[in-house]
Structure 1
Amino acid sequence: MTVEAVVFDLDGVIIDTEEVWEEVRRGYVAEHGREFLPDTQTRMMGMSTGEWSRHLSEDVGVPRTPEQVAADVLGRMAGRYREALPLIPGSVDAVRRLADRFPLALASSSARILIDQVLETAGLTGAFRTTLSTEEVPRGKPAPDVYLAATGRLGFDPRACAAVEDSSNGLRSAGAAGLAVIAVPHGVYPPAPDALALASLVIETLDDLTVEAVEKLR
């Protein structure tokens, strides 16, 4: 079975926001007199909006409802994006390069409001045939839901699709859905060895994400 379509992650693949997310959420938690748990940052990478806001409210102890936490943090993130969009070098070119050959989808853990804003600012809205947030499916990453939904919207068997991911939970999500996994490990937040082992291809930069490399995956 050959690869017929490609699904991109957003955070850590197209935009370098993991450090921004951590800074914003740590600051927010600290303002309420709380601290991250030892595994909070790792757990939240890939979680849907509902999942991470519930974690901060119920597990970390921020004295706000999950809905209030989500609204507070997303408002701060949107403000940071308006100030400056931290595009990863080569990401826009990589998306456009693959869009000339493959149907593309986006499967992101970011909220819909942030997805739309990022793609509009980056000039990539028209590059994707469909975009999905994990808040629009039952479970966030590492569950396969968002990748199954994305490939379904594209009209392809997941095994005929490739995923471009950076985080442990993202790699696990794509692997569980049956896609061929391309890993672009984040320098600051590298994936766990078991998650990286799911990748059919590991690349150092998005300049290495070529049509030829994707075509050879299967």
Structure 2
Amino acid sequence: MKAVLWDMDGTLVDTEPYWMATEVALAEEYGATWTTEDAKHLVGNSLLYSGEYIRQHMGIPLTPEEIVERLLDGVVERVQHAVPWCPGARELLLGLKAAGVPCALVTMSYQRFVAPILEHLPPETFRVIITGDQVDQGKPHPEPYLTAAAALGVDAADCIAIEDSPTGATSAAAAGCQVLVVPNHVDVPPGERRTFIDSLVGVTPEVLKTLPDRDTAARDLP
């Protein structure tokens, strides 16, 4: 394990309810229909994909780009009031920093949403930050994770990615990472290079080192 690559929404911070509440508010504003299944479908996807999906399914007179900005407005406002850390995530992140293990943030959210969350962490907790507005291909494409590993100067196959969604896990595994899956709001199916755990509570850098290497089939952590 040469580095740890972190997803953000639903993995580091439990902000998926913020996104869902903002989507519902947008639907109510335009008298549109929006279901829980619609919201879950967007978990882990790029914001422009989400904007287009919302435009089509809500039938609202906004471009995908305008919808993304409306979503970001709502979620940034909510996160400025409170940062909902996922159980054990902040502790593991700070433990990795103390142990000298480089970390990267790999999120499909945009920089203006990431910034208020990073304000609550020590400087340079993440040596590299890859956001959705910095890549051409978002998750589930491997580009975000490949970009993060390259920026850290390591091979993606020597990295552990921490994810909570099928889209994110697919992206990380396709890049060659070992993936620690911590399901949150959506189910994640088993797959190559995936190790499952219910929570990051009690997970330490030493525990991460017990994950299978690149040639070992995925298994569950004890």
TM-score of the aligned structures, taking structure 2 as reference length: 0.88
Q: Tell me which amino acid in the other structure corresponds to 1:119.
A: L
Q: Is the 8 A contact 1:171 1:199 kept in 2?
A: no
**2:202 is aligned with 1:204:** no
TM-score of the aligned structures, taking structure 1 as reference length: 0.89
Q: Which structure shows the bigger proportion of residues in helix conformation?
A: 1
Cα-Cα RMSD: 1.8
- Change over 3 Å in CA distance of 1:20–1:216 after alignment to 2: same
Q: CA deviation at 1:59?
A: 4.2
Counterpart in the other structure of 1:164: 162
- Change over 3 Å in CA distance of 1:38–1:185 after alignment to 2: closer
Q: Tell me which amino acid in the other structure corresponds to 1:46.
A: G
CA shift digits 1:153-196 (9 cap, x unpaired): 0111110111011111111111111100001111xx23232xx3
Tell me the matched-pair count: 211
**2:106 is aligned with 1:107:** yes
Counterpart in the other structure of 2:6: 8
Of all paired residues, the percent bearing the same amino acid is: 30
Q: Residue 188 of structure 2 is aligned with which of 154, 171, 192?
A: 192
Alignment of 1:1-218 (within 5 A): 3-36=1-34, 39-99=37-97, 100-120=99-119, 122-186=120-184, 189-193=185-189, 196-217=190-211, 218=213
Q: Is the 8 A contact 1:37 1:60 kept in 2?
A: no
Q: Structure 2 CA distance, aligned partners of 1:60 and 1:175?
A: 32
Q: Tell me which amino acid in the other structure corresponds to 2:191.
A: A
- Change over 3 Å in CA distance of 1:82–1:60 after alignment to 2: same
